[in-house]
Structure 1
């Protein structure tokens, strides 16, 4: 049986027809579905390019294909291409396919009404909370208030009508978006043995600057790099010797660099751009002292779990799955610059506390090893396949 998985990822296609990704959703990600399904069809946005950098990875491979959706970024581009996107998305699903929608997102929203109309069962993987995604400060769009009102309602309907749901959190997303049928909480983080360091870190008084590190997209401001830059400026103004490493890219990078310059911390805010996931990013994490991700929205933040596996002390916000990863004392309200600056100062001032955070985070990250999580995912995949097979058999009997 083939499983169609629809998601909001953005890929690039070279003239030879190969489809590529830099961050996440490479072939290794999709292989997990092949433990239960015979084929995987990935439905996502695809842009045609002349070439990709050498560090990009293939999406397709043995048993994994891609169904391209017209490329768009943001609400306005979607509105311009809405009809073409809807037509393409609805053609991606066959009558005998199992369907998993990674929600919320526009592509899933194009497919789901068709499935409901025909009675075709579908499952959802709930990876983010649109109520937080469209919170003030997260995106710059005049339609943001409407999207914050509409999108959570749409997601609740999608979850209620799904035959099964997998949530990347253990509790947070389930409360807002319940599924009345089978559900399970399992992260989509991938942590292999090479991801973990062997022991916690030891901290002592430093003469060199403390290094904070941020890993996240700059295509939108969901991850709040602007809030972090403001907080670092407050810390520097108060006499703290720190620097900030930012890994990620997107349309707001230039604006964020200008923000750092305007605040007088241009030399302390180091923008590395988009780095290849894996060893390259881990090397930067190992050089840093504290990982900070003050997001406006999250499911379960993969970047933070990876930082925890490197035994980094971490500071996050109170949204999404952060409270499942960190104690409340290391969380701040989203968008609160002063609270974030105070938390950074508080943590850096206590090397013993940082060492305890390091040990605690490394141990917590071990709950997210691939071996543990895949066993939970298999329960979900098998249920989805069984439900689809039962529906197909029932439909055949009625003919």
Structure 2
């Protein structure tokens, strides 16, 4: 049996069905079962009376969820560390191989268990913990300690793994190499045919208002919505622009108050969470420019979905973003002045050029290409499992 660990929070209703808010639905896990057979998934699970409207079914044939206590952040994790470790030890005792989707606390514990019990393991790197804690995204006053711990754990995990996949083409590989050189570039972005615009957009003049859009969770400050708001406040007297924010979370009220304090209440719209897929694509089609002022990213799905619809984009220079956007369209994280300057320099010609380049780049992440790369990684995992029987 293969056991997969990830830092994600699922919901389980009274009938035992498991639900996910984003791409970790049954179709996502089916990519694993089609190659590996039955799998166990170790993650946080919160019990609910009924699932919210925008959640997707996650469980299915061959997919068995093993719930960990629903802690919130490292401090909460430490309060429940012994029952969490006990659960992980129990859930992995019959595993022939582990897959760790890092970064995350659960994966760190599973790595230590694997080393102690000599269980072979593979790693899927989907983000960079150094950026999470270094760029004011999380951790508060103890962020430097968290950064050191999580970065070191991910470096050791990747070094010792049997095989590693990375959501980037080269960025994360350089920071977290595998000692055996068994590395795969495997984006976790899967863009189907309907996600693409047939041809680039054309701009005869600069749109007025310039309709900008962001997509991301407001549960944590990683997406840099505050940076976008500050940038918009700097150009509001020079550029007629609006900003729609798709996403929800505990930070929404704080960000709405910030928009009001900056005098942007007429220019900023908080739309809330939308179901993945067509509902989000509808907002992207209506926009003129996509913004991603993130403090950390792996290979951002929202950005590539926007690019697949020919949407021009400006983004921060973090994670795998520089692999898909040219340097002329990037700015430094935490620097609203740089974003504001890029917005002031937009022209119809530049928007048209961005649209064409983005659509061409996004085609590399078509479902057929990313699925093929993921299958190659999983086949190597399966071969390793056979060797260790």
- Normalised to the residue count of structure 1, the TM-score between the two structures is 0.94
Aligned twin of 2:224: 224
Partner Cα distance (1:64, 1:113) in 2: 24
Matched residues in 2 for 1:206 and 1:96: separation? 58
Match of 1:193 in 2: 193
* Match of residue 372 from structure 2: 375
Q: Is contact 1:98-1:385 (8 Å) kept?
A: no
- Partner residue, 1:6: 5
- Partner of 1:55, secondary structure, is coil
In the alignment, is the contact (CA less than 8 A) between 2:190 and 2:371 conserved in 1? no
In the alignment, structure 2 segments of 5+ residues that lack a partner are: none
| Alignment-derived partner of residue 251 in structure 2 | 252
CA offsets 1:211-266 (integer angstroms, 9 cap, x no match): 11111111111111111111111111x32111111111122111111110110102
C-alpha RMSD of the superposition: 1.4
What is the 5 A alignment of 1:88-237? 88-139=87-138, 141-181=140-180, 182-206=182-206, 208-236=208-236
Deviation at 1:390, TM superposition (A): 1.2
CA distance in 2, matches of 1:328, 1:55: 36
Contact 2:132 2:295 in 1 (8 A): yes
Distance apart, 1:10 and its partner CA = 1.1
Whether the 8 Å CA contact 1:43–1:92 is kept in 2: the answer is: yes
8 Å CA contact 1:211–1:290 kept in 2: the answer is yes
Residues 1-399 of structure 1: pairs in structure 2 closer than 5 A: 2-139=1-138, 141-181=140-180, 182-206=182-206, 208-236=208-236, 238-347=237-346, 350-392=347-389
Partner Cα distance (1:203, 1:16) in 2: 52
* Change in 2 beyond 3 A, CA 1:232/1:193: same
TM-score normalised by the chain length of structure 2: 0.97
Shift of residue 207 of structure 1? 6.2
CA-CA distance at 1:59 after TM superposition: 0.6
1:341 aligns to what SS in structure 2? helix
Tell me by how many angstroms 1:105 deviates.
0.5
Residue 39 of structure 1: how far off its partner (Å): 1.1
Shift of 1:322: 0.7
Instruction: Tell me if the contact between 1:128 and 1:299 (Cα under 8 Å) persists in the aligned partners.
Output: yes
1:184 shift after superposition: 0.8
Q: Deviations over 1:306-362 (max 9, x none)?
A: 110111001111111011100111110110110011112212xx1111011101111
Shift of 1:200: 0.9
SS at match of 1:36: helix
Find the aligned partners of 2:71 and 2:267 in 1 and give their Cα distance. 34
TM-fit CA distance, 1:149: 1.8
Aligned residues between the structures: 388
Q: Contact 1:90/1:110 (CA < 8 Å) preserved in 2? A: no
Name stretches of at least 5 consecutive residues in structure 1 with no aligned partner: 393-399
SS state at 1:222 partner: helix
In 1: Cα distance, 2:81 partner to 2:248 partner: 26
Residue 96 (structure 1) shift: 4.1
SS of residue matched to 1:308: helix
- Deviation, 1:98, is 2.6
Q: Deviations over 1:279-320 (max 9, x none)?
A: 000000001111110111111111101110111001111111
Q: Secondary structure at the match of 1:143?
A: helix
Q: Contact 1:3/1:97 (CA < 8 Å) preserved in 2?
A: yes
Deviation, 1:19, is 1.0
Give distance in 2, aligned partners of 1:206 and 1:167: 38
Question: What is the match of residue 397 of structure 1?
Answer: none
Taking the aligned partners of 1:135 and 1:225, their CA distance within structure 2 comes to 17
Give the Cα–Cα distance (whole angstroms) in 1 for the partners of residues 125 and 303 of structure 2: 18
